[in-house]
């Protein structure tokens, strides 16, 4: 696995924390997924090729397409004001991701540099959901987290077993379809995709 590619994934995950347009964010996640998928397909043995190909199609093409439809159905009428400024988000995400990466115990992956990058992408996926207020960005956080795990699994001999990869791809389709339906409905009912409007239920 190219270490440059792995760190490019970290950089694109950081970019997601600051990027303004939802369509641009979807394009970044799609690019991540496509890069991972192409690498997996190129290095897969015969049995794993089908699973890698299916994952590539699902994560690189189907899911971004689904999310773009959700974006088209919920045109932003106003920017989300409750979000911290981009530089603050970037500083916060970078600092926390670095801290998590340093504090995380060794996972025992074959390549230490790749392990650091994978933990970084995973942490940035979680932080993306925590620092962005738009529900669509929170949904994209799932995909980035999953990309981090996929990145960690790539250098394993033969990757993850094919049934798990196919199951994961199916679960992702279902979960992201539901997330896209929620994003559309929330926008329809509240007039905005701002998740800070979803804080009425408190005790």
Partner 1 sequence: MTEALTIAVPAAALLGAMFVHLARTPAGVDRANVLAASLTAALALTVSALGIVNGGEAIRGSWFVLDRAGASFLAVIATVGWLSALTSPAFLAGEGRGLFTARRARGWYYTGFHVFWATLLALPLVDNLAIAWLLVEATTAASALLVAFNGRPHALEAGWKYLVLTTFGLGVALLGILVLFVALAPHGGGLSVLDWRSIAAHAPHLPHGSVEVALILILAGLAAKIGWAPVHNWLPDAHSEAPPPVSALLSAALLPTVMLIAWRVTLTLGAAAPHHLARTLLIGFGLASLAIAVPFLWRSMPWKRLLAYSSLEHMGILALAIGFSNPLATAGLLIHLAGHAIAKSLGFYAYLPIGRHSPDSARRAPRGLTRSSGAVAAAAGVSLATLGGLPPSPLFFSELLILLGGIVAHQAVVVAIAAVLIALAFLGLAHALIETLAGKGSGRPWQAGRTVRLTRRLTVAAVIGLLALSAGAYLLIDSHASTTLMAGVS
Binding of partner 1 by 111 (CB under 8 A): no
Q: How far is the CB of 174 from partner 1 (least distance, A)?
A: 4
Q: Which of 168, 180, 192, 194 forms a contact with partner 1 (CB under 8 A)? A: 168
Question: CA dihedral defined by 118, 144, 85, 11, rounded to 10 degrees?
Answer: 40
Binding of partner 1 by 108 (CB under 8 A): yes
Within its chain, how far is the Cα of 202 from the centroid?
29
Tokens representing 193 are 């995709």
DSSP at 82: T
Q: Is residue 177 within 8 Å of residue 93, measured between CB atoms? A: no
Q: Which part of the chain contacts partner 1 (CB under 8 A), choosing from 65-73, 79-87, 92-100, 167-175?
A: 167-175
Tokens representing 191 are 């007039």
Q: Which of 21, 45, 72, 185 forms a contact with partner 1 (CB under 8 A)? A: 185
Q: Which of 17, 114, 135, 180 forms a contact with partner 1 (CB under 8 A)? A: 135
Q: How far is the CB of 173 from partner 1 (least distance, A)?
A: 9
Q: Which of 29, 67, 179, 180 forms a contact with partner 1 (CB under 8 A)? A: 179
Instruction: Kindly write out the interface string for residues 65-104 of this chain, putting x where it contacts partner 1 by CB under 8 A and - elsewhere.
Output: ----------------------------------------
Reduced DSSP (H G I as helix, E B as strand, rest coil) percent helix, strand, coil of the chain, to 5 = 75, 0, 25
- 134 has which bridge partners? 194
φ/ψ (deg, to 5) at 192: -160, 155
Give residues with Cβ within 8 angstroms of 86, minimum separation 6: 18, 20
Q: Using CB under 8 A, list all residues that contact partner 1.
A: 105-110, 122, 125-126, 129, 135, 138, 141-142, 145-146, 149, 152-153, 156-158, 160-161, 163-164, 167-168, 170-171, 174-175, 177-179, 181-182, 185-186, 189-190, 195, 197-201, 203
């Amino acid at each position: 696995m190219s270490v440059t590619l792995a760190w490019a994934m970290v950089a694109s995950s950081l970019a997601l924390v600051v990027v303004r347009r939802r369509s641009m964010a979807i394009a970044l996640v799609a690019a991540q997924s496509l890069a991972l998928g192409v690498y997996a397909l190129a290095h897969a043995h015969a049995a794993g090729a089908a699973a890698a190909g299916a994952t590539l199609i699902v994560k690189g093409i189907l899911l971004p397409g689904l999310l773009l439809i959700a974006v088209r159905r919920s045109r932003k009428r106003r920017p989300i004001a409750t979000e911290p400024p981009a530089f603050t988000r970037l500083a916060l995400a970078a600092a926390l991701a670095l801290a998590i990466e340093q504090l995380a115990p060794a996972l025992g992956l074959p390549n230490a540099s790749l392990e650091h990058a994978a933990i970084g992408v995973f942490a940035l996926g979680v932080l993306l959901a925590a620092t962005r207020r738009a529900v669509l960005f929170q949904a994209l956080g799932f995909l980035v987290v999953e990309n981090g795990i996929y990145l960690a699994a790539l250098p394993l001999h033969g990757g993850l077993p094919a049934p798990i990869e196919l199951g994961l791809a199916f679960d992702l389709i279902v979960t992201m379809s539901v997330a896209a339906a929620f994003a559309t409905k929330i926008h329809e009912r509240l007039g905005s995709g701002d998740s800070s409007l979803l804080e009425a239920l408190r005790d």
